[in-house]
Amino acid sequence: MRKVSHLCGIDIIPILIEHNGKQYREGLDIDADAFFQQLEITAVNKYNLPKTVIPTAISTIDVVIKAITEGYTDIIFVCMSTALGSAFNKIRVDSLAFRDQINLHMFDTKAIGYVEAYLAIYAQ
Does 4 have pLDDT greater than 70? no
In which band, very low, low, confident or very high, does the pLDDT at 1 lie, cut at 50, 70 and 90?
very low
Residue 68, C-beta contacts closer than 8 angstroms, at least 6 positions apart? 98, 101, 102
Measuring CA to CA, how many Å separate 64 from each of 23, 98, 102? 23, 8, 8
Does 99 have pLDDT greater than 60? yes
Residue type at position 54: I
pTM of the model: 0.72
d(CA 42, CA 14): 23
